[in-house]
Copies of this chain bind each other. A is one copy, B any other.
């Protein structure tokens, strides 16, 4: 039976309120505001526990470390900003990807990652 520690509560709150997928390091940086002594190993363990418990899902990207976001979100894809390295959720899905498969291949799942500049960075002249 899992316990409600200050560390895990802080980690969960950070993820639920982020509005976008976070990397373990981003989770650590944000959660340390609540729990100063928090260690990165605890973050990894809490993320792993969250996935096991079902409320958290990993977001595998083509760039950088795995991010994590709440599992209650419906099917969607992701955008990574080349300037600030943040990842954002996108709505919609092109669908009909089976037509890309060679004969005999079976499709289970798919990932789509768009790259570019987020609204914040697109309006920044120098960045």
Contacts and interface: CB of A to CB of B under 8 A. Distances in A.
Interface of A: 60-63, 77, 79, 82, 88, 90-97, 99-119, 122-123
Residue in A61, A100, A107 whose Cβ sees the most chain B Cβ within 10 Å: A100
Given A92-B100, A105-B117, 16 more contacts: A61-B62, A77-B100, A79-B102, A88-B105, A94-B94, A94-B95, A97-B112, A104-B119, A104-B123, A105-B116, A106-B116, A106-B117, A106-B122, A107-B115, A107-B116, A111-B113
Number of copies: 2
A103 B92 CA distance: 14
B88 A102 contact: yes
A82 B101 contact: no
